[in-house]
Structure 1
Amino acid sequence: MAALRTMTAVEAKLYLRDPGTPIIVLGLPIGLLLVLSLIPGVTEPSEEFGGQVPLGTFIAPLSIAILIAMIALNIFPSYLGNYRDRGILRRLAASPVPPRDLLYAQLIVNLAAAVVVALLIIVVGRLALGMELPANLPGFTLATLLGAAALFSVGLLISAFASTQSVANGIGSVLFFPMLALGGVWVRKEDLPDLLQTIADVLPLGAMLNAMRETAAGGNPRPLQLLALAGCAVVCGVLAARYFRWGTR
């Protein structure tokens, strides 16, 4: 445990020294929420959203889901791809420090960043914009945590196969943008054809977003959404553990 704590502290320092980190983890959540809050009508009850206020029941979940997906699918695999490309993983594999500690440390640091993103959006929305808190807070928390687990499992699977940072970025982007298009991000799930609505509730980003929307409005996440997230977390996690290599292939 001491080695893991030390490794986590080191990785956290390196993470914070990256000039892009404060922008993504601190600036982007606040900026995205504030910009989207300027859309006319999002701070008032809307018939289009079932009488709910879109800011708290759509904009906030949307912002959280997008940013957690960016961290899980782009930033997290990018770091590990860079470490593999530079031979850091291979050297750690020959050192007394268990190389898995680096993996755990990276997961802890990036999950902490995801938690900060979610809290920032909720707190800033509440204090600066008067946004209502999620009506079903336990359900919202469950959807967020399970969604983060699913997305980070996908990120870990990307890391298992990406030999370099650029490859990791490429694979992450290939997965990220279709999830935006089909997950109810660019177009609300309700406005998609029936088949695509089902797909939106199965894809990790879409299942997370739509479960968060349900719970923010006071409802419960749909079983399909929870099953899809849990299944993705388990399947991708198992595959990543099976095929992950510390060196290049």
Structure 2
Amino acid sequence: MTTVEVWTDINCPFCYLGKARFEEALADFPHRDDVQVVHKSFELDPTLPPGSSGPVVPAIAAKYGITVDQAAANERGIGAQAAAMGLPYQTSGRDMGNSFDMHRLLHYALDQGKQEAMLDALYEGNFAEPEPVFGDTERLVALAVRAGLDENSVRAVLADPDAYADAVRRDEAEAAALGANGVPFFVFDGKYAVSGAQPPEMFTQALTTAWNDRPGPQLLADGDTCGPDGCAVPGSATAQ
């Protein structure tokens, strides 16, 4: 079994693209059924007030010291990358904000066996749909229900600011200890790291490297053997 830990934030468009590129590589990986993927929390801006929301383009312009037009062009460029992968992407009108509650819900969803569906719903809501996802509890509840979570339980988690808060902070502390200062950040079996929305080929290389470096003996040659069903007949696929 190979474990892939992925640190992401819902605010991050390259996390959206990186997930799709990693999944493309994983779909073609011959041992994909023996790969466990765990999504972990990373806030791009943990200083944002809870419940905060605002338009993306002006925020990008202010953060990087560029014009609003340049920031808008940057969004269109990311949208073009998404389109090349068949991913829908809203290049204008998106919002951004505090994502701590989203990360708490992702940990709750992990307990329910629905973390992947919850993350997909959040990405879809933020990048593919025009309605804002930050600072709107009802929208967040709707996305969680879409992912298959129980509405009353989701509301209970959101109403309790301590629910899964420690789990989010542990993930963030672990990311800091690993030296991750941006996302997406992929760690394969705790040994190999890939930063950014890399091409699928890079993820294939990382998966292969981690798989071949698993503890225990590695099979270097495969020949005729005897087993519970008998012994292989030379030159035949049958057993005797």
Give the structure with higher Rg (CA): 2
Normalised to the residue count of structure 2, the TM-score between the two structures is 0.28
From the two aligned structures, give the one with the greater helix fraction. 1
TM-score of the aligned structures, taking structure 1 as reference length: 0.27
Bigger proportion of residues as strand:
2
